Amino acid sequence: MSTAASAKPKFHAYRVGEFVERNGLPLFCAVLTVGAALFAPGFRSPNNLQNVLTNAAPLGVVVLGQCLVILVRGFDLSVASVMATAAVIATSFDETTDWSVIPILGVSLLMAFVVGSVNGYLVTQRKVSPFLATLAVMIVLQGIRFAWTKGAPSGRVPELIRVIGSQAIYAVPINLMLLVSLATIVGIMLHRTAFGRKIYMVGGNPRAAELVGISVNWITFSCYVLSSVLAALGGLVLVGYVGSVDNWVGRGYELNSIIATVMGGVSLRGGRGTVFGALVGAFVLTEIFNIALLLGFPVQFQWVVKGVVILLAVAVYLAAHRSR
Amino acid sequence: MMSDGEAKRSQPEALFWLLRRRTETAIVMEIALIALLFIVGFLVSDDFRTIDNVVNIIEQSTGLAFVALGQTVVILSGGIDLSLDATIALTSSLLSGAVNGRADLAAPMIAAVLAIGLTIGLVNGTLILLLRVHPLIVTLAVAAIVQGSVLLYTLMPIGGMPDGFDQFAFGRVFNIPIGAGVAVLCFAGVAFVLGYTRLGRQIFAFGGEPDAARLVGIPVSRVVLFVYGLSGLLASLTGIYLVSRLGIGNPTGDTNFNLASITPVVLGGTPLTGGRGGVLGTLLGVFLVQTLNNVLNFLDVSTFYQWMIQGLIVIVAVSIFVEKRRRAA
């Protein structure tokens, strides 16, 4: 592999690879935005820009949690089901008063805590693969939700949730502010506390983490609980935007959140990546969907875009990683 | 991860002892559960004990059987295929949409969709080899592209098949449903490949110890392309079977075969980590799942609870087997 002749290009490639891995996505985001502003009619309009941000916020909240789980070498496929369940909970209380937000929040978080605990228990104690554990939990939760709503959920959400999910103050969407505050909290937790450091260690090398006395199971378990809790919040934000509820609120968010996280440079092998990167991933993904619509492609085209984007992102990171 | 477990598994005798013990346990459990379900069915409903109903269970099992077989081989090789729903959506809607009742187009289109299924599988395999990320990500990405293409082709079920095409699903030869017969033949063929050919051994070896398999010179790309190609091919067979049974293709991809195909594999004693297990357990698993659904229908349990029960079964099955493996290791 390594010969004397390759020494010089390797040094050069090291920098390119490192640069792409660190700054590729924000750069791509900038190019995409400028390109869209130049070529896609309607992208520049303040309305549309606000729309993109409002759309990105619920995904961003879910991505925060997905990012934590992927950092510890897992996946959480149950996020969409948690979102829909939180949305159903949001319509199950008195919609005429904003005070219902308190029980809604309480019950949603409790539900999310239970779901995350089951995920975490299965993954850490029963050593079930994260994929299968969260998939099975997703199906069970889906069954419970359908049985509870008898297949046809109805009702409306309190006005406060509507406002948070869809209104803006001085053109800044409220749900975006919520996302930024949550991201700040998660970011500080991840990058400035011992707990966050431990998450990276567990993801980077679980055996070594175990040997230096970190409780790998506890850290992993916490990440699954946090992911579910953030997914529930994301579901509440989303249902506030959508306004009405059906059984599939948040459908596709499990895949979208994984795509955004991976695009944002969080390695599926665990232990690498930042919250900021993952959030940029969420914005880029939303932006791509928006541009595809503005260019007149049918909505179904989003599926194709999604698939191509994830394959490209993975390929670029592979190339960048190899050249290091 | 488990260094002592790996050391043990490197000894062939220990490996085969473990393999046999594990799958045998699962198969005995499955037969016991099927027997139990039949007893319950006999007790609760007169309609359950008719030949028609048993044939009905077999017919319902057939569609699932094809994909579950493909999924088993993929899982044995240590991977996972989540593009099944999309492949089924594409092949079924393309078949009924393109044929649109014309008898002369049926045979070429069947050949075409089989080729399409195979191609999707090979694309999965190629991308997994090239990108070296988790098969979950690759197959989901490919699934998104395929599903999007189907929906661009049509949003509604369209077209139809000529008369007589439903024979694949409902026809009988010596009282055996044709589709089920084909499915059993497929299982037998794959069982032969797994048990008696070099390629079969290589699939087990690659699934159990990918790095070791690579080091001892197992043609990894051949193994990966074979398992995903087979899975895609079998998924298109399910698509064809569903068109034959329902008369029309379904483009929405709501068939839920991605999880449904994993349940019988796990019940059959094939762990998701690969390298151990077999197809007989999967075949019984398919029959077990459909018998359960059938009994639950007779008990008037709604579909929603059936999902719940299916999810819980997966969780319980996976948890039990992990416990066993840990003790053995």
pLDDT in tens, B151-175: 888 888 887 777 777 777 777 777 7
Give the one of A128, A133, A139 whose C-beta lies nearest to B310's C-beta.
A139
The alpha-helical segments, DSSP class H, found in B45-166 are 51-76, 84-99, 103-131, 135-153
Chain A residues with CB under 8 Å of B324 CB are none
- Look up residue B154 and give its two tokens: 């049509």
How many CB atoms are closer than 10 A to CB B162?
14
- The answer to whether A262 contacts B151, with C-beta atoms less than 8 Å apart, is no
> In whole angstroms, what is the distance from residue A21 CA to residue A320 CA?
6
Q: Is the Cβ pair B304, A143 closer than 8 Å?
A: yes
- Identity (one letter) of the amino acid at B276? R
With a CB cutoff of 8 Å and minimum separation 6, the contacts of B129 are B220, B221, B224, B225
Cβ count within 10 A of residue A1 = 3
Q: State residue A185's pLDDT score.
A: 94
A140·B127 Cβ contact <8 A: no
User: Cβ A147–B314 below 8 Å, yes or no?
Assistant: no
- pLDDT value at B326 more than 60: no
ipTM for the predicted complex comes to 0.76
| CB–CB contact A310 B131 (8 Å) | no
How many contiguous H segments (helices) and E segments (strands) does chain B have? 14, 2
Chain B partners of A138 at a C-beta cutoff of 8 Å? 311
**d(Cα A318, Cα B24) in Å, to the nearest integer?**
41
Is there a contact between B148 and A126 if contact means CB atoms under 8 Å apart?
Answer: no
Domain borders along chain B are: 31-328
* pLDDT of res. A319: 78
Task: State residue A10's pLDDT score.
Answer: 52
What is the overall mean pLDDT for chain B? 82
Cβ contact A253:A83 at 8 Å: yes
Which residues in A have their CB inside 8 Å of a CB on B?
75, 122, 126-129, 131-133, 135-140, 142-144, 146-147, 151, 255, 258, 262, 268, 298, 300-308, 310-311, 314-315, 318
Closest residue by Cα to residue A261 from A59, A7, A31: A59
Give the confidence band of B322 by pLDDT, cuts at 50, 70, 90: low
Q: Which of A131, A136, A301 sits opposite B152 (nearest CB)?
A: A301
Q: Measure in Å the smallest separation between the Cα of B48 and chain A Cα atoms.
A: 25
The full length of chain A comes to: 324
- Cβ-based neighbours of B216, under 8 Å, separated by 6 or more: B205
Check pLDDT > 70 for residue B325. no
Helix (H) or strand (E) holding A277: helix A275-294
In whole angstroms, give the CA distance from residue B77 to residue B61.
Answer: 24
Question: What pLDDT is stored for residue B19 in this prediction?
Answer: 52
Contact A135 B308 (CB under 8 A): no
User: Could you give the 3-state DSSP secondary structure of residue A156?
Assistant: strand
Name the residue among A126, A131, A304 with its Cβ closest to that of B145: A304
Do the chains contact at A147 and B142, CB–CB below 8 Å?
Answer: no
Q: Tell me how crowded residue B220 is: count the other CB atoms within 10 A of its CB.
A: 15
To the question of pTM greater than 0.90 for the whole model, the response is no
Q: What CA–CA distance (Å, rounded) separates A234 from A252?
A: 13
Minimal Cβ distance to B148: which of A132, A302, A318: A302
Is residue B227 within 8 Å of B221, Cβ to Cβ?
Answer: no
Spell out which residues of chain A touch residue B308, defining contact as CB-CB under 8 Å.
139-140, 143-144, 147
| Chain A: residue whose CA lies nearest to B146 | A304
Q: Cβ contacts (< 8 Å) between B318 and chain A: which residues?
A: 122, 126, 128, 132-133, 136
> Which one of A314, A317, A318, A321 would you mutate to disrupt binding with B, by most B Cβ within 10 Å of its Cβ?
A314
Beta bridge partners of A244: A156
- Domains of chain A with bracketed CATH: 32-322 (1.10.3470)
pLDDT value, residue A2: 45
Sign for the pseudo-dihedral over CA of B308, B311, B315, B321: positive
Q: Which residues of B touch A143 (CB under 8 A)?
A: 304-309, 311
* Sign of the CA dihedral running A51, A248, B153, B79: positive
Task: With CB atoms and an 8 Å threshold, state whether B144 touches A315.
Answer: no
* Residues A296, A41 contacting (CB under 8 angstroms): no
B307 Cβ neighbours under 8 A, 6+ residues apart = A139, A140, A142, A143, A146
Distance of alpha carbon A175 from alpha carbon A240, whole angstroms: 9
The percentage of chain B sitting over the pLDDT mark of 70, rounded to a whole number, equals 90
Q: Per-residue confidence at B1, pLDDT binned at 50, 70, 90? A: very low
Question: Nearest chain B Cα to A314, which residue?
Answer: B131
Q: Distance (Å, rounded) from C-alpha B120 to C-alpha B75?
A: 17
Look at residue B127 and tell me whether its pLDDT is greater than 70: yes
**CB B131 to CB A314 under 8 A?**
yes
Element (H, E) at A169: strand A168-169
**Which of A85, A128, A256 is most worth mutating to test chain B (most B CB atoms within 10 A of its CB)?**
A128
Residue-wise pLDDT tens digits, A168-191? 888 788 889 999 999 999 999 998
The label of the residue with tokens 């592999």 reads A1
Q: Quick one: tokens of B188? A: 């037998």
Cβ neighbours, 10 Å, residue B77: 28
Whether residues B322 and A268 touch (CB distance < 8 A) is answered with no
Contact present, A196 and A88 (Cβ < 8 Å): no
Q: Is A132–B266 a contact, with Cβ atoms under 8 angstroms apart?
A: yes
pLDDT at B314: 79
CA separation for the pair A60, A182 (Å, rounded)? 10
State whether residue B173 is helix, strand or coil: strand
Q: Model confidence at B7, in pLDDT bands (50, 70, 90)?
A: very low
CA distance B81 to chain A (A): 12
Q: For residue A264, give how far its alpha carbon lies from the nearest alpha carbon of chain B (Å).
A: 15
pLDDT > 80? residue B138: yes
Q: What is the mean pLDDT of each run of 10 residues along chain A (324 residues)?
A: 47 62 76 80 81 90 94 90 91 80 90 94 85 86 85 80 83 88 93 91 88 90 95 92 80 86 83 88 88 81 83 80 66
Residue from A58, A64, A74, A59 nearest A227 by CA: A64
| Exposed e or buried b per residue across A229-261, where buried means at least 16 C-beta atoms within 10 angstroms of its C-beta | bbbbbbbbbbbbbbeebebebbeebbbbbbbbb
The residue among A119, A124, A140, A293 with the most chain B CBs within 10 A of its CB, best to mutate, is A140
* Interface A-B: count of C-beta contacts within 8 A: 127
Give B12's pLDDT tier (boundaries 50, 70, 90): low
pLDDT at B20: 54
Is A112 in contact with A130 (CB distance < 8 Å)? no
β-pair partners for A172: A169
Residue B84 — very low, low, confident or very high, per pLDDT cuts 50/70/90?
Answer: very high
pLDDT digits (tens, 9 = 90+) for B205-223: 888 888 888 888 888 899 9
Within 13 Å of residue B258, how many CA atoms lie on the same side as its CB?
22
Note whether A303 contacts B302, CB cutoff 8 Å: no
How remote is the C-alpha of A288 from its chain's centroid?
Answer: 16
Alpha-carbon distance A248 to B232, whole Å? 28
The Cα–Cα gap between A296 and A303 comes to: 15
**pLDDT for B233:** 95
The residues, ordered by sequence, that sit 6+ positions from A221 with a Cβ below 8 Å of its Cβ are A117, A120, A121, A123, A124
- How far apart (Å, rounded) are the C-alpha atoms in residues A210 and A174? 41
Q: Do A303 and B145 touch (CB under 8 A)?
A: yes
The answer to whether the CB atoms of B151 and A308 lie below 8 A apart is no
Closest to A222 (Cα-Cα) out of A24, A74, A57? A74
Across the range B245-260, mean pLDDT stands at 80
What secondary structure letter does DSSP report for B304?
H
Answer yes or no: do B308 and A139 touch at CB < 8 A. yes
Say how many C-beta atoms besides its own lie within 10 A of residue B201's C-beta. 13
Contact A307 B145 (CB under 8 A): yes
Structure tokens at A230: 């953030």
Q: Which of B137, B139, B262, B289 to mutate to test the interface with A (most CBs of A within 10 A)?
A: B137
Contact criterion met (CB below 8 Å) for B167 and B108: no
Q: What is the pLDDT of residue B13?
A: 55
- DSSP per position, B161-184: --TTTTHHHH-EETTEEHHHHHHH
